Amino acid sequence: MRHILKSTLGMVAATAAASFGVVAPASAAMPQGQDYGPGAYFEMTQASNDDPGQTFVVKLTDPDEIQHARDLLSGQSTDRPHVMGRIDKYKVPYNPQWHYHYDPKTVQFFDYAIEVCDANMNYVEEHLDEAGGAFLPGRIWCPWDSRIVREVSPR
């Protein structure tokens, strides 16, 4: 049974990594003065958070995904309401309370996803050193109860 589970998790990680391209190692700290480039920023919440006021800022750079987020906010769309992407393990100025963030090039929206990438944002923070292994294989995070709640300015 353990071999089957390990093989299944390996396939899931490989599939997730392949869908987002090659997984590069995460750096411990981001260089100062990093240019974040153009994009749009959205605040995300999760119903499963211990602190209901807690938010996570998502940077989007893909024009189609930016438009989809805006369509979700305006009510023009209810399809693919949840956020998914690969996390990088360092702080960014637009998301200062967390030691991780979504790699903007990998962010997309979804309706349903596999359980292995679902986690609460607090749990991700507390287990960040394990992300990329059995926990969040490929560093893919897909919180099932995530929702974009508003567009925000970068901090």
pLDDT in tens, 11-62: 344 444 444 443 333 333 433 334 345 899 999 999 876 676 789 999 999 9
Residue environment code for 83-104, b if the CB has 16+ CB neighbours within 10 A, otherwise e = bbbbbbbbebebbeebbbbbbb
Say if CB 91 and CB 99 are below 8 A apart.
Answer: yes
Encode pLDDT of 83-103 as tens digits.
999 999 999 999 999 999 999
Domain containing residue 115:
2-20+38-152
- Looking at the 3D structure of the chain, how many domains does it have? 1
Longest dimension (CA), the chain: 49
Does 26 reside within a domain? no
pTM of the model: 0.74
126 lies in some domain: yes
Answer yes or no: is 85 within a domain.
yes
Q: Give domain status of residue 29, yes or no.
A: no
| CA-closest candidate to residue 153, choices 69, 81, 59, 67 | 59
Q: pLDDT, tens digit, for every residue of 119-153?
A: 999 999 999 999 999 999 999 999 999 999 999 99
Q: Does 112 fall in a domain?
A: yes
Residue 27: inside a domain: no
Q: Rounded to 5, what percent of the chain is helix, strand, coil? A: 30, 25, 45
- Answer whether residue 48 is part of any domain: yes
CA distance 113 to 91: 26
